[in-house]
Amino acid sequence: MSVNIPGVIAMLFFYLMVLGVGIWASIKSKKEENKSAADKIEMALLGNRGITTVVGIFTMTATWVGGCFIMGLTEMIYTPSMGLTSALVFLSALSFSFILGGLVFIKPMRDKKYVTMLDPFQIKYGKAYAAVQSLGALLSDILWLAGTLISLGATMNVILDLPYSLSIWISATVVIVYTLLGGFYSVAYTDIIQVLLIFITMVRRLYL
């Protein structure tokens, strides 16, 4: 299969843009850290709790609606044993979990300045219970990350005609670099780019 030159240019532009935003976010993160004398962990993981509502919506949407989600949902619809009904159940369950979390858990967790979702369980039931819970969360995150990297590898494999493994390594390297540079700020602002590009390309596909 020949290399898709426009696709190569688009991929390079995307990764350079993401890295550029990551570098900018790292500078912004350091300025905010110096200005507020915030704890390094809170700055890296939570952006010093200073992310605006709009940015929060974008980064939450990007976390939910990524390559893994889109490709997985498409496969569910076209799998005879699953189909549209299973896809709708999947969407409903995820949507309900976000609504429930937003209505019930967000305000008390922000008021008490928790860092992770497991903090209230650790306070109430102890470290051993929280450790068991964290194993479940870790396993699900590992599987989700694997699915995301596979979808990235599939995309680059089609566009650049590169092996899956190399495509995954390239994508993972870019993500690690911009995350280490600016922590949550980098992740949040690069998520905005990703959501906008997903929306633009999906709208474009509708009119082609």
Q: Residues 40-85: pLDDT tens digits?
A: 666 666 666 767 778 877 777 777 776 667 767 777 888 878 888 8
SS3 of residue 179 by DSSP? helix
**CA angle (17 as vertex; 16, 18 as ends), nearest 5:** 90
Q: What pLDDT shows up at residue 2?
A: 61
Per-residue DSSP letter, 116: S
Q: What pLDDT shows up at residue 66?
A: 66
Residue 190 tokens read as: 């690069």
Mean pLDDT for each 10-residue chunk of the chain (208 residues)? 70 80 77 66 67 78 71 78 82 81 81 82 86 84 78 73 78 78 76 79 71
Task: State how far the Cα of 25 lies from the Cα of 17, in Å rounded to an integer.
Answer: 12
Q: What pLDDT shows up at residue 128?
A: 86
Residue 45 tokens read as: 């993981």
Which pairs count as long-range contacts for 7-13, CB under 8 Å and 24+ apart, including other chains? 7/159, 7/160, 8/159, 8/160, 10/159, 11/156, 11/159, 11/160
How many Cβ atoms from other residues are within 10 Å of residue 146's Cβ? 12
The dihedral of CA 149, 46, 114, 107: what is its sign?
negative
Q: What pLDDT shows up at residue 68?
A: 65
Burial bucket for residue 122 (CB in 10 Å: 0-12, 13-18, 19+): middle
Task: State how far the Cα of 162 lies from the Cα of 3, in Å rounded to an integer.
Answer: 9
pTM: 0.66
Q: Counting every residue, how long is the chain?
A: 208
Q: What is the mean pLDDT of the chain?
A: 77
Residue 12 tokens read as: 């390079």
Q: What pLDDT shows up at residue 195?
A: 79
Per-residue DSSP letter, 47: G
